[in-house]
A and B are shown apart, each in its own frame.
With several copies, the nearest count.
Chain A
């Protein structure tokens, strides 16, 4: 079963969240990344996420496997949008269920940090002043 998924259109969180809830899991932590109207002080009109799909899916799955090994959690999922997104759209969602909240928080933080730093997905922002550019953080 795949725990990491790319989505080329807006997705509903509910089915993935519901799949994580069960009678043994007392704690559920989630994180959502939204398209903001600004970045580094510049007004943003919208953005595009591009992925190297085959590698992104494999690497995303690896991140979730690592989270399940490192932390005492019940289950975890991550969905990342690709394609064109408008301001206020959901870009990425992470959900983690666990018996206790320490592990749920730690694992959700681990997953979003690793996904953002390792999974080959690139962000192209369109600025209100007309320019556009790829973000390749140092």
Chain B
């Protein structure tokens, strides 16, 4: 089990109803974490359309959860 802080942006935040939450999870990696939160919050975006970041840097879906880290799921961006 690891406790992480999860940040939600854009349509993910609208779906979750919060922009940040603390999550205790036994997910094997960041991809499994997203899938469990997707079920909980009903996120419309499949994992294939997202990127993931940990502690302010892009990360891999296969990265393990680090205790105390800050995880963000990055929907497709629409800058500019």
Contacts and interface: CB of A to CB of B under 8 A. Distances in A.
A13 to B, nearest CB: 15
A80 B10 CA distance: 17
Contacts of B31: none
Contacts of A122: 9-10, 75, 77-79
Interface stretch (B22-30, B34-42, B51-59, B61-69): B51-59
Nearest to B74: A120
Interface residues on B, range: 10 to 19
Interface string A118-137: 11111110000000001111
By secondary structure, the A interface counts as mixed
B50 to A, nearest CB: 9
Interface residues of A, number: 27
B80 interface: yes
A58 B55 CA distance: 12
A134 B75 contact: yes
A135 B49 CA distance: 13
Contacts of A112: 80
Contacts of A55: 53, 56-58, 72, 74
A98 to B, nearest CB: 14
A91 interface: yes
Interface string A85-111: 000000110000000000000000000
A33 B79 CA distance: 10
B33 to A, nearest CB: 17
A138 interface: yes
Query: What are the 3 closest A-B residue pairs judged by CB atoms, nearest first?
Result: A122-B10, A135-B78, A121-B79
